[in-house]
């Protein structure tokens, strides 16, 4: 497998999204606009030449859009290998490249979000454990911070206080999200429209800067849905799934 790193020079022409074929799609343009600014902060986006089916995205933790304290570490936004590309060692290729690059840059280790059991859009804990990662912190909602330290001694990453006990005071459905995930550009407006038609209180809060992301009331900032103040899921939903979730929450 051949890999290519996204740069400011090739960003516009390269395919970056695992499930979206057109570079003109609003989801792609949203993601690329977000990436463009992150590249200046040291983000690395390494992908296969096979239309983005395999990629890893990581950034110095000081600039990570998650509420963690992990100075000196590298934070992995996403490690994705899809479909028929699974089972060929490509995820190891990408992770090894991240490890080597991070060591060369003098980082203390890697960190990434997961949970005790695999959750949608989060890293697989079994894979992380196999690769030597360990849990270094956990929020009340079961979201865990995993770390692969390069040295035996040192301060391990941890969640900031704002994210350790995910809860908000707002009633109804409240969605926190960023443009890191391209799917949000399409599906957040769909949820807003669906909620309006169903007469359901719904507010979408777009986290659009680093400070807001690092002080968010949730470990997962790409997509975090609350209901009556309580965190319920990080899984992106279409209108059908959202209506089903409403019925479940309301006990219909």
Residue pLDDT, tens place only, 11-64: 988 877 655 555 566 878 889 999 999 999 999 999 988 765 789 999 999 999
* Numbers of helices and strands, H then E, in the chain: 7, 13
- Do 33 and 102 fall within a single domain? yes
Q: Which domain holds residue 32?
A: 3-162
Report which of residues 14 and 149 the model is more confident about: 149
- Do 158 and 181 fall within a single domain? no
Residue pLDDT, tens place only, 190-211: 999 999 999 999 999 999 999 9
Averaged over 173-180, what is the pLDDT? 97
The pLDDT-based confidence of 88 (bands split at 50, 70, 90) is: confident
Report which of residues 48 and 133 the model is more confident about: 133
Q: What is the CATH number of the domain that holds 234?
A: 3.40.30.10
Residue pLDDT, tens place only, 104-113: 999 999 999 9
The pLDDT-based confidence of 1 (bands split at 50, 70, 90) is: confident
* Nearest-angstrom CA–CA distance, 192 and 175: 10
Return the residue matching tokens 């979206």: 20
pTM of the complete model: 0.94
For residue 140, the model assigns a pLDDT of 96
Tokens of 247: 């019925």
Average pLDDT, the chain: 92
Return the residue matching tokens 């926190």: 176
- Do 101 and 156 fall within a single domain? yes
166 φ/ψ sector (left φ>0, alpha ψ -120 to 50, else beta):
beta
Q: Name the domain boundary from 162, 178, 193.
A: 162
Q: Is the CB of residue 167 less than 8 Å from the CB of residue 245?
A: no
* Nearest-angstrom CA–CA distance, 13 and 10: 6
Neighbouring C-alpha atoms within 13 Å toward the C-beta of 61:
26
- What letter would DSSP give residue 99? H
Q: Name the domain boundary from 162, 182, 213.
A: 162
């Amino acid at each position: 497998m051949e890999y290519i790193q996204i740069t400011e020079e090739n960003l516009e022409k390269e395919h970056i999204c695992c499930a979206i074929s057109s570079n003109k799609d609003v989801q792609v343009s949203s993601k690329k606009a977000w990436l463009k600014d992150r590249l200046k902060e040291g983000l690395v986006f390494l992908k296969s030449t096979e239309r983005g089916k395999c990629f890893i995205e990581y950034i110095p933790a000081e600039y990570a859009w998650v509420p963690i304290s992990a100075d000196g570490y590298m934070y992995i936004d996403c490690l994705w290998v899809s479909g028929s590309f699974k089972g060929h060692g490509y995820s190891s290729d990408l992770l090894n490249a991240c490890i080597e690059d991070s060591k060369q840059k003098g980082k203390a280790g890697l960190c990434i979000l997961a949970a005790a059991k695999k959750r949608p859009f989060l890293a697989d804990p079994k894979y992380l454990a196999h690769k030597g990662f360990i849990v270094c912190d956990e929020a009340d909602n079961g979201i865990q911070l995993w770390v692969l330290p390069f040295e035996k001694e040192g301060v391990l990453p941890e969640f900031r206080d704002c994210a350790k006990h995910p809860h908000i005071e707002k009633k109804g459905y409240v969605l926190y999200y960023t443009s890191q995930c391209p799917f949000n550009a399409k599906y957040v407006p769909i949820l807003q429209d669906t909620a309006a038609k169903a007469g359901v209180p719904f507010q979408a809060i777009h986290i659009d800067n680093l400070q807001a992301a690092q002080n968010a009331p949730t470990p997962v900032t790409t997509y975090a849905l609350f209901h009556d103040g309580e965190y319920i899921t990080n899984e992106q939903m279409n209108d059908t799934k959202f209506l089903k979730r409403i019925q479940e929450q309301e006990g219909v």
